[in-house]
Structure formats: C-alpha cells, structure tokens
Amino acid sequence: MALKDIFKGHEGINKILISNGGENAIDKTFFYLSGVEAGLFEGSSIVATRDSLKMFVFPLEEEIAKQSGHEIVSATSLAQMKDNISRELASEKEVGVNLSSLTVNMFDKIKEENGKLKFRDVSESIQNARMQKSADEISRLKEAANISGEIYESVLNELKEGMKETEVAALLVWKMMSNGASGPAFGSIVGFGENSAIPHYSPGNRKLKKGDFVLTDYGAQYKRYCADTTRTVVFGKATEEQKEIYNTVHEAQSRAMEMIRAGVNGKAVNQKALDIIDATKYKGKMMHGLGHGIGLEVHDHNALSTKDMVLRENMVITDEPGIYIPGFGGVRIEDDVLVKKDGHERITHKPSDFLIEV
C-alpha cells in the first residue's frame, strides 16, 4: 500500500480523514491504511498525508494501535477526540473524506465539528488504490485461500445422512479456525438438494439424504483478508443430469479462467462463461456475474460482470459460474484468482475435474 495512491487525482488536498464508525459503519480503509490485525476501533480515525499517517484512538485499543508503528494520538473522551482531530486539520482549507463509508449522520457531525473546512469525496481514488494488492495483502489472501482449501476434504469425510445444513456450516467455521483462520470471511452458504439452486441461500434445518447436491460457499478470513470458494459434490451416486450440470459449469469456469490477465476487460470474461452455458439446454440458468474482487471485503469491487472493468495486475478476483434449476438443485464452482501481467494464478486449491460422489 502506498499512501500517495489514495491522493491520485486530488491535487490541492494534503490530508485525508478516515472516520471509522460503529459496527454498522466500519470503514475497511481504516485497516487498509493502518495494517492493524485486531480490534474494532469504533469511533477511531486516521489522518493521512502522502507520506505518513496518524491514528486517533481511545485507550481501549491504544496498545493494538501501537503495534502498527504509526503515530498514535489517544483520547479519553469523545470531546477530546473531536478536539484532537480538529487541531490536526486546523491548518487545512480542504480535506478528503471517504464519503462512501460515512453515514449521513457521521458526515454531518464531521462538518459541524470542523465548520470552516471544506470536504472532498476521495472514495473513488481509495477504491482504485485498494483494487491492486500489495505483496503483504497477496500473502494474506493466499493464506486465507489455503486454509479454506485444506479443510474441505475433511468436511466431506464427515458428511452423514441426516446431518442438517446448519451443522455443516458450523463444521466449516470450526475447521477453518482450528487451522489458523481469524474467523469466517462471511456467513457460510450450505445448500442440500433443491436448496443448492438458491445462489444466496442461508443454511437451515434441511437434512442430508442420498442423491443430494451439497453446495458449500465459504471462506476463511486471515489477518482481515478474505477467501471465497464454492464447491459442489453429490452425497451418494450422481445422476447423469447432475454430472452434465457439473461438467458444463466446470468448462465455463475453465474457459473463462484462461482469459484472465492484466489488460483484459472483465466483461468479456463474464461473457465467455455465459456463452458456454447458454449454448446448452441450461441457457439462462446463470443469473449472476461471473466474479468480483476480494480483499478486506468479500465483495471488494466489480470484476467479472456485465460492467466494463479492465483487469489490472495484482487484483485478486473470483471466477464462479453456476447453473441453478429450481426444485432440482444447482452447481457453482468458485475459485480465487490473482491477476498477473501475462496471465493469472489460482490461489485456491484446484477443484475436481469431475463431480465428486461422497
């Protein structure tokens, strides 16, 4: 991460204020800039320049903040926090803010507390900077992906007839954390049988039975960075229809993956997967974009969809085609991919080339 990158296109701005709210208004850019691996830092802020930053925190997380190596300014009350930040910004005429991560109330309060200042939205430059990962970010993403892949076979070995979807979801989280994850990157999706046809399904009390598709969409979080992987198997003997669906999705993913490299428009990669699926009897059965960026957030930015997005070196994205047939079931295969100058690197474990029967 280079501080100067978040200032690109904003000449005349010397300082950027990043305000972290409560649990419902956490700004991941606070952690992108500071690098801290633990803590919520509710009500904390960062003031960044092109070559340094200061963290404004409360004693609750002061010791964690010190581990970052940045200058720390601690406050014991909301009033003192306001005064500390106002003094830091007092010499400026205009200050950048990450408006996309501020609530209306938060922004109104910032303006009220700094009445003479003008504020400029720099959220687009922040997002652009966060799209291309540093070596440290890539290392964290690879470890999150590795943990996610390492546990999968052991989860399959524990599948038993009569298990609930919620039991498998809990098993995924337990195994990820037992193998070094900081936690789950998001609420795991586990769908049995007909429920596997619901892309954003929440696991329930449906019990596993022979012949069911078992779709698991999950990911480890490692030092705040997220993995996102989906695998689909059959519990018992697969039908020819189930194999055909899997093979179609696998081909769509593989052919799209071949296109991923810096300079390619993600819209074209998305279209390649759609073309393969729509050339079969499953036309129209993939109702989502092919992939998205991952990083501090599971859906970090647009990547492979109907929108124009030129892929850049060191982006990390997903490739996740799917076919969903209501009442029958669905297949999704998802991998995390590092975009390189002349190609790509799959950082999740390679999925099976054939439909696994458990």
SS3 for 83-108 is HHHHHHHCCCCEEEECHHHCCHHHHH
Inside any domain, residue 89: yes
pLDDT, position 22:
82
Domain of 237 in residue numbering reads as 135-346
Inside any domain, residue 358: no
Same domain, yes or no: 328 and 217: yes
Query: How would residue 2 be classed by pLDDT, with cut points 50, 70 and 90?
Result: confident
Question: How many CB atoms are closer than 10 A to CB 342?
Answer: 8
Percent of the chain with pLDDT over 70: 100
Inside any domain, residue 62: yes
> Which CA distances in Å does 322 have to 198, 212, 246, 252, 318?
11, 17, 9, 9, 13
Average pLDDT over residues 337-347: 97
Same domain, yes or no: 143 and 207: yes
Same domain, yes or no: 58 and 204: no
Inside any domain, residue 239: yes
Report pTM: 0.94
Helix 104-113 crosses helix 78-89 at what angle (to 10 degrees)?
Answer: 70
Same domain, yes or no: 205 and 299: yes
Same domain, yes or no: 119 and 200: no
Same domain, yes or no: 232 and 90: no
Inside any domain, residue 151: yes
Same domain, yes or no: 158 and 233: yes
Same domain, yes or no: 124 and 140: no
> Could you say which of 131, 153, 176 is where a domain stops?
131
> Could you say which of 116, 131, 146 is where a domain stops?
131
pLDDT, position 40:
92
The CATH number of residue 48's host domain is 3.40.350.10
The CATH number of residue 229's host domain is 3.90.230.10
Same domain, yes or no: 95 and 174: no
213-242 residue pLDDT tens: 999 999 999 999 999 999 999 999 999 999
Same domain, yes or no: 44 and 109: yes
pLDDT, position 115:
86
Same domain, yes or no: 230 and 85: no
> Could you say which of 131, 147, 167 is where a domain stops?
131
355 DSSP β-pair partners: none
Query: How would residue 91 be classed by pLDDT, with cut points 50, 70 and 90?
Result: very high
The C-alpha atoms of residue 140 and residue 106 are separated, in whole angstroms, by 31
Domain count, the chain: 2
pLDDT, position 1:
56
Inside any domain, residue 28: yes
Same domain, yes or no: 186 and 324: yes
